[in-house]
Amino acid sequence: MRENRLKELWAEGHPALGGWLGIPSSTSAEMMAHAGFDWLCVDMQHGAIEYQVAVTMLQAISTTDTVPIVRVPWNEPGIIMKMLDAGAYGVIIPMVNSRAEAEAAVAACRYAPDGIRSYGPARAVLYAGPDYFSRANETVLCIPMIETREALANVDEIVGTPGVDVAFIGPSDLSVSLGLPPSTDQDAAEFVSAITSVEAACKRHGVVAGVFAGNATVAGKRIEQGFRLLEVADDGRTMVTGAAAALAQLREPA
């Protein structure tokens, strides 16, 4: 079975730098897959992407060695299993707030006896190899998101759930839940301590800490804090930022 390169990167002590895809197109996905990221996440929650296009995006990513990750819209077994069947090597699951929710997320990601995943990995076998069934449970990543006050309160129970590979912070939702404006980084003490406390919980439980950084500067800071799965840039924002900069150069000459 094709190895999960993210696990190899972590074993070598490296952070895994990722891109985020919200544009529903296999064309932009393939371009981003050639841009040098270690992994790409097809975002089916806040991205404008539904299953049918997501599959073509996973195919586009599979033309390279970039590791394909999917964020599902919600913690539901149907869509988690569909995306794993489609070849995702990890699933990011929003709004996991309790041990029970974490266990449900894990169960959807694992074949029996570790979970309840239904068998039928039609595309995953093509991507991963014929021994997919026997090695899938140890290869695909289950990545619950920690992004609410409630999740912070339960962080050890969530992160310590057997089968959780990564805990991934959604900083905007975390901000909102804490009564702050949505942001990928801010100085508010409660926000700062939340970030560090999740990372510390991950360390306690031998789980990788991940985070949506939003840009390279924040990503660099988070790497120093111990995070090892980092969203660095998304497709749409990167495009629009670059476009606006080009226009500004012409419209406001120095």
Active-site amino acid positions: 46
Binding to a copy of itself (CB under 8 A) within 58-87 occurs at 59-60, 62-63, 73-74, 76-79, 81-82, 85-86
Q: Which of 6, 42, 53, 166 contacts a copy of itself by CB under 8 A?
A: 53
Binding mask 215-234 for a copy of itself (x = CB under 8 A): xxx-xx--x--------xx-
Cα separation, 53 vs 19, whole angstroms: 17
Q: How far is the CB of 199 from a copy of itself (least distance, A)?
A: 18
How many other CB atoms sit within 10 Å of the CB of residue 104? 21
Q: Is 91 in the site for a copy of itself (CB under 8 A)?
A: no
177-206 binders of a copy of itself (CB under 8 A): 177, 179, 181-182
The answer to whether 131 contacts a copy of itself (rule: CB under 8 A) is no
Whether the Cβ atoms of residue 85 and residue 108 lie closer than 8 Å to each other: no
Helix residue ranges, H only, the chain:
5-11, 26-33, 51-61, 77-85, 99-109, 122-128, 132-139, 149-153, 155-159, 171-177, 189-205, 216-225, 235-251
- CA separation (Å) from 18 to 31, 62, 67, 230? 14, 15, 9, 6
Pick one of 10, 25, 98, 225: the residue that binds a copy of itself (CB under 8 A).
Answer: 25
List the one residue from 92, 95, 151, 209 that touches a copy of itself (CB under 8 A). Answer: 95
Among 31, 100, 153, 192, binds a copy of itself (CB under 8 A): 31
User: Residues 212, 217, 221, CA angle at the centre, nearest 5°?
Assistant: 75
**Closer residue to a copy of itself, CB minimum distance, 63 or 196:** 63
Among 122, 189, 206, 254, indicate the residue that binds a copy of itself (CB under 8 A): 122
